[in-house]
Structure 1
Amino acid sequence: MTTTAHAPHHPTAAFGIDIGGSGIKGAPVDLRTGAFSSDRVRIPTPQPSTPRAVAATVAELVDSFDLPHDLPVGVTFPAVIQHGVARSAANVDDSWIGTDVAAVVAQATGRHVLAVNDADAAGYAETLYGAARGVAGVVLVVTLGTGIGSCLVVDGVLVPNTELGHLQVDGHDAESRAADSARERDALSWERWAERLQTYFRVVEDLFWPDLIVVGGGVSKKHEKFLPLLDLRTPIVPAELRNAAGIVGAAALAARGTVLD
């Protein structure tokens, strides 16, 4: 539903691009393993990060690789992405709101492009190649960073744009209290932060009854400091793909040609 053209059936490779507020990163992905098939390239995000400037940078990144012209390209974007169109903008220029991300990048690169929310891409990659690989049922992937990103996958199907970081918990926007940035801002011990995470994850598991929760974001590297402090009925484990997840998930979804099935 978010492609400019349908990708070939069951390709074994695709190109993933992770668009962020400070950097744009990309690599070709071997879809049989979820591994990069050559080194990742990173280019600083242009400032201001307007659609034209970002699309030109993405084209520069793609052109730095020798890629088959029909290789599917997937891009992650820090926004709600509805059928390829950005409905919000986080850490990028507000002029993206209402812009068809997939179409803008496709025009700049001359390639088939799929656009997806950044947390959705990372979470989807974890279900294919990472901590949730082979898990049936409802998988919730939550990234703890500047904000809280979320990804819901049901029997391998992505339910996009869940935005569970913005749930109201005890009268607060959840991410304002439980994101990793809140831990740093309020100088919380791991134990005190875990109390806030406990409150947040209890609300989430009561709403969705997931079979597994996967925790990503940079702080997941220190998972042993806080995950064992949580008392949930749902198994909760650290993400495995780390910084590669967005690129891998975008590539995998581009190869499928749609976010919604």
Structure 2
Amino acid sequence: MTDTGMRIGIDLGGTKIEVLAIDCQGVELARHRVDTPRNDYDATISAMVGLVRRMEEETGNTGTVGAGIPGSISRITGLVKNSNSTWLNGRPLHKDLTAALGREVRVANDANCFAVSEATDGAAAGVHVVYGVILGTGCGGGVAIDGRVHAGPNGVGGEWGHNPLPWQRPEENPGPACYCGKRGCMEMWVSGTGIALDYKEVTGRTRTTREIVSDFEAGDEVAAASVERFEDRLARGLANVINILDPDVIVIGGGVSRVQHIYQALPGLLPKYVFGGEASTPILPAMYGDSSGVRGAAWLWPIQRS
């Protein structure tokens, strides 16, 4: 039987919660967002439930519900772990959201939702193994296999952001301190935060990532050197991903993904670091941009074809 059902996706972020309703063809039916009730777990659950109810009232339909969250659900405890929205950690969010809605809810890491979105009907639609990279304030990663999340038994499949920068140079060791308690994590090198930190370390001047990129595009040599360091570090990190997973496609999202030069630079840089000196992996910008996370949450309930 052909799938005709509505899907509702929730993207729980540190500053906003977004909800989206789509039909089985991926056509948007309704969308809304509210500010995240920071540091208030109960209010966060209530806000998510309220958004689902709003979507169903606006569309006149009941839908399946998926939620993308920062962090992941531990298979051992059933509690949230690894979330930079720290008030979620140690809480049974999956259980509480399911109980509050009175139906099954599927929950996944937000980077995994991003990968699922792009693998379902985005830049990598129909591709077997997709690695999704989010380069924003931090850096995340997720894996979709045949359009479905690959989280792994520890819930950290694809999480490269807290691996160390590969093939560190003397000036890169031990690297900046990360909120996770370690130093030199990829997140501190290839995120928007990392670009700004690198620029300040070299020049002594404080510039936003947006300003640095703008200066680079205008031909500023100092900004160009900073972007080149970022691209080389990104290539090293992605080479490690290719060496381990060898995905069919890598899709990049997040604010830094808008730097068009990276799609020109990476194909030439990756073979320097990938084992065997070959790297034909397509590197693509996300089709749905900032909407990929919430769309992927909706697609946690995959298409059921006849």
Bucket of the pairwise TM-score, normalised by the shorter protein? 0.7 to 0.9
SS in 2 for 1:131: coil
Is the CA contact (8 Å cut-off) linking 1:139 and 1:152 kept in structure 2? yes
SS in 1 for 2:51: helix
Partner of 2:83: 89
Q: Which whole-Å deviations, capped at 9, do the CAs of 1:116-168 have from their partners, x for residues lacking one?
A: 111111110100011111223x2211111122111112333421132111112
- Taking the aligned partners of 2:61 and 2:99, their CA distance within structure 1 comes to 14
Q: How far 1:24 moved relative to its partner?
A: 0.6
Bigger Rg over Cα: 2
- Taking the aligned partners of 2:3 and 2:93, their CA distance within structure 1 comes to 24
Q: Which whole-Å deviations, capped at 9, do the CAs of 1:158-212 have from their partners, x for residues lacking one?
A: 2113211111223621111122220123226322211111221122211212221
Provide the identity percentage: 31
SS in 2 for 1:126: helix
Match of 2:16 among 18, 23, 27: 23
Partner of 2:124: 132
Give the AA of the match of 1:225.
H
- Taking the aligned partners of 1:19 and 1:146, their CA distance within structure 2 comes to 16
Partner of 2:136: 145
Give the AA of the match of 1:62.
V
Alignment of 1:211-250 (within 5 A): 211-222=248-259, 224-230=260-266, 231-232=269-270, 233=279, 234-250=281-297
Partner of 1:4: none
Q: How far 1:30 moved relative to its partner?
A: 1.8
- Taking the aligned partners of 1:211 and 1:29, their CA distance within structure 2 comes to 27
- Taking the aligned partners of 2:70 and 2:283, their CA distance within structure 1 comes to 25
Match of 1:208 among 223, 239, 245: 245
Q: How far 1:37 moved relative to its partner?
A: 1.0
- Taking the aligned partners of 1:175 and 1:241, their CA distance within structure 2 comes to 23
Partner of 2:146: 155
- Taking the aligned partners of 1:193 and 1:35, their CA distance within structure 2 comes to 36
Alignment of 1:1-261 (within 5 A): 10-32=3-25, 34-38=26-30, 40-50=31-41, 52-65=42-55, 66=57, 70-83=62-75, 85-93=79-87, 96-136=88-128, 138-160=129-151, 161-162=156-157, 163-169=159-165, 170=168, 172-187=184-199, 189-222=226-259, 224-230=260-266, 231-232=269-270, 233=279, 234-254=281-301
- Taking the aligned partners of 2:113 and 2:46, their CA distance within structure 1 comes to 22
Kindly report structure 1 stretches of 4+ aligned residues shifted beyond 6 Å.
none
Is the CA contact (8 Å cut-off) linking 2:67 and 2:107 kept in structure 1? yes
- Taking the aligned partners of 2:63 and 2:54, their CA distance within structure 1 comes to 14
Pair 1:201–1:255, CA change in 2 (3 A): closer
The alignment of Structure 1 onto Structure 2 pairs a total of residues equal to 243
Is the CA contact (8 Å cut-off) linking 1:70 and 1:112 kept in structure 2? no
Name the structure with the higher strand share. Answer: 1
- Taking the aligned partners of 1:55 and 1:17, their CA distance within structure 2 comes to 11
- Taking the aligned partners of 2:18 and 2:103, their CA distance within structure 1 comes to 17
Give the AA of the match of 1:168.
P
- Taking the aligned partners of 1:144 and 1:208, their CA distance within structure 2 comes to 19
TM-score (norm 2): 0.72
Q: How far 1:255 moved relative to its partner?
A: 5.4
Structure 1: tracts of 5 or more residues without a match: 1-8
SS in 2 for 1:164: coil
Q: How far 1:60 moved relative to its partner?
A: 2.0
Is the CA contact (8 Å cut-off) linking 2:135 and 2:253 kept in structure 1? yes
- Taking the aligned partners of 2:99 and 2:291, their CA distance within structure 1 comes to 26
- Taking the aligned partners of 2:249 and 2:238, their CA distance within structure 1 comes to 12
SS in 2 for 1:240: coil
Q: Which moved more, 1:53-62 or 1:151-160?
A: 151-160
Partner of 2:179: none
- Taking the aligned partners of 1:168 and 1:185, their CA distance within structure 2 comes to 16
Q: How far 1:111 moved relative to its partner?
A: 3.5
- Taking the aligned partners of 2:48 and 2:293, their CA distance within structure 1 comes to 15
Structure 2: tracts of 5 or more residues without a match: 169-173, 175-183, 200-222, 271-278
Is the CA contact (8 Å cut-off) linking 2:148 and 2:302 kept in structure 1? no
